[in-house]
Amino acid sequence: MNKKSLEISAIEFKNIIKDILENETVKQMNNYRQHYDTSCYEHCFKVAWYNYVLCKKLKLDYVSAARSGMIHDLFLYDWRVPQPGRKRLHAFRHPRIALNNAIKLFDLNEKEKDIILKHMWPLTVVPPKYAESYIITLSDKLCALQESARHYQKSKAFRYAYVFLSLLVIRIF
């Protein structure tokens, strides 16, 4: 994708999810961490972007993929903090929680519902019904990996390990 088409795509992407970005409940995702120092909002925005790019490239329904990507983790709590009345096993339960929250705020089609509900597959056993739901299982994991790597790159231990491995590689070759 060249710079011009990337700019056009970014504008189209933001127009597709404009009403979701402006929703007050969705904005509150900025207050909750998802992976390390990445907020839930930032994570969802990135997953939505990857969904959009991949689905557009594959000639799939990039509108549903982008919209559901932005709300696939729509839960307003820090999942690391145990709360009375909230059941554990967040990884298994939050797709249903996000879907229940999302349908109160937006008019979702069947594909969008499936994308949100199945985004943790294969951790949640029931497989996706649509190609776009498989795409989010990739986008979500890719973003989680990037967010974790970004966090560890900041740590001293990571930098020392990187220098050590670089020296080792230089010595071997």
Stretch that binds Fe ion, among 7-15, 57-65, 69-77, 106-114 (CB under 5 A): 69-77
- Closest approach, Cβ 150 to Fe ion, in A, equals 15
CA distance 106 to 169: 52
Whichever of 16 and 98 has its CB closer to Fe ion, that residue is: 98
Q: What's the 3-state SS for 89-113?
A: CHHHHHHHHHHHHHHHHCCCCHHHH
- Closest approach, Cβ 61 to Fe ion, in A, equals 19
Applying CB under 5 A, does 73 fall inside the site for Fe ion? yes
Residue with tokens 């903090």: 81
Pairing state between β 33-35 and 38-39:
antiparallel
- Closest approach, Cβ 16 to Fe ion, in A, equals 18
Q: What beta strand segments (E) does 17-152 contain? A: 33-35, 38-39
Applying CB under 5 A, does 140 fall inside the site for Fe ion? yes
Quick note: the x/- pattern for Fe ion over 16-55, rule CB under 5 A, is ----------------------------------------
- Closest approach, Cβ 118 to Fe ion, in A, equals 11
Whichever of 73 and 114 has its CB closer to Fe ion, that residue is: 73
- Tell whether the torsion through CA atoms of 110, 113, 117 and 122 is positive or negative: positive
In the chain, the amino acid numbered 90 is H
Number of residues that bind Fe ion (CB under 5 A): 2
Stretch that binds Fe ion, among 5-13, 24-32, 71-79, 158-166 (CB under 5 A): 71-79
- Closest approach, Cβ 12 to Fe ion, in A, equals 22
**Taking CA 17 as the corner, what is the angle to CA 53 and CA 55, rounded to the nearest 5 degrees?**
20
In the chain, what is the straight-line distance between the N-terminal and C-terminal CA atoms, in Å? 35
What is the 8-class DSSP label of residue 87?
Answer: -
Which residues lie near Fe ion (CB under 5 A)?
A: 73, 140
